[in-house]
Amino acid sequence: MSAKEKRGDKGRGGKTAKSGGARRARRIVRIAVVSAAVAFCAMCGAGNWFVHHPPEWMYAAESKLPSFVTRPLEWFGYRTGDVTDALGWTGLDVVFDVEESTDPDPERPMFFAGAGAPQRVSAPAPKDIEIIYRDHFAVGWSPSLRRPVWVAYHVKPEVPYPELASKEKRMGFRQDRNAPRSPVAKDYTNSNYDRGHMAPNRAIASRYGRDEQEKTFLMSNIAPQRSNLNQGPWANLEMRIADLWTERYGEIWVIVGAVPGGRRGKIGVNSDIDVPDAFFQIVIARNQTENEAEQTVKSEVRVLAVLMPQSIPRNAFYTRNIVRVKDIESLTGLRFFPELEKSFEERLVTDRGTRLWPSGLRGVFKLIAARFRRY
């Protein structure tokens, strides 16, 4: 064999070795990618299953399992669960059909189905709650706490003032002359607490116009909230109610309020504005259909109750914060639907869902965008 032929054989052998090495490298990369994808899907599935258990179950699991197990499950679970819940693939809602009328009182439309204003039953609810009626929301005001105990409002599916919703014009906060011992805006200055809206600016403005919007900036509608709460989960839930759920579920009634403080002290020039330990939102939707042949009206009613502590993180996911209405009644000393028929009331307050209501595919993109939008 000539020297030239030997050199050719060596060249072909080198090329074969190189191509074999490249194939092995590509195979290793493919295996690594597939393995990572399988591990990612497994963690998402396991995490999703983990976070959809009742909070009591999760607290027990966290006490028994090491944190390097529970933290990744929660990290993956909350993020994937927020999407799969919004699509309606996971989680459960509290939904039931009602044959009897669920029409609100025309003179008090802010209260669901003529349920009446929340009533004080026991402590820690203060004894001096005074109800201040606006045209489209009502405030349960406490002069001793110098903040609202609860606020009730009604959100229609129709949006007659979209320009107010899109601009979200900020207004100056004003003292409410009709609320005894109403604070002024500067009472919150340098307090490390936001002036937190109870009846929300966006939902009220877009449904009822500028005059009613201005009333949401009265200090009787304001309570001290940490920035992470006010600008994070609280605002996110308000957005779901105003922009996503009315479109999907029809009319919505909301009762928001605060768990009386104790651990967090007070703020204000005279240090007499109570700082709540936590806040709640109770949301009821009604989708009503008529059967002309049978001349009957059927209402599909769903209820959701969320309890948010002042310490909640700005980007918190809500699964753990979903509670029963009855739990909020126990914490606040209030009864929320005192004038409902007893069996109907019992159904509203005793069941608990495991997710925020689905909002559909378009809603998912809005929710993802909201995670990155500044307040």
Rounded Cα gap, residues 215 and 127, in angstroms: 25
* Per-residue confidence (pLDDT) for residue 368, from 0 to 100: 84
CA atoms within 13 A on the CB side of 35: 6
* Per-residue confidence (pLDDT) for residue 170, from 0 to 100: 65
Residue corresponding to tokens 């009787």: 220
List all residues 6 or more positions away from 275 whose beta carbon is below 8 Å from its beta carbon. 193, 224, 261, 264, 265, 266, 267, 310
Intervals of the chain under pLDDT 50: none
* Per-residue confidence (pLDDT) for residue 296, from 0 to 100: 66
Domain boundaries, the chain: 3-84, 95-372
Which contiguous run of DSSP H or E holds residue 58? helix 55-64
Tokens of 282: 């109770």
Task: Indicate yes or no: pTM above 0.85.
Answer: yes
Rounded Cα gap, residues 209 and 200, in angstroms: 13
* Per-residue confidence (pLDDT) for residue 287, from 0 to 100: 84
Tokens of 24: 């092995």
Rounded Cα gap, residues 86 and 78, in angstroms: 12
Residue corresponding to tokens 């994937």: 80
Q: What kind of architecture, by CATH, is found in domain 95-372?
A: 3-Layer(aba) Sandwich (3.40)
* Per-residue confidence (pLDDT) for residue 103, from 0 to 100: 75
List all residues 6 or more positions away from 79 whose beta carbon is below 8 Å from its beta carbon. 317
Burial class (CB in 10 A: 0-12, 13-18, 19+), 221: buried
Rounded Cα gap, residues 348 and 335, in angstroms: 12
Residue corresponding to tokens 């509608």: 221
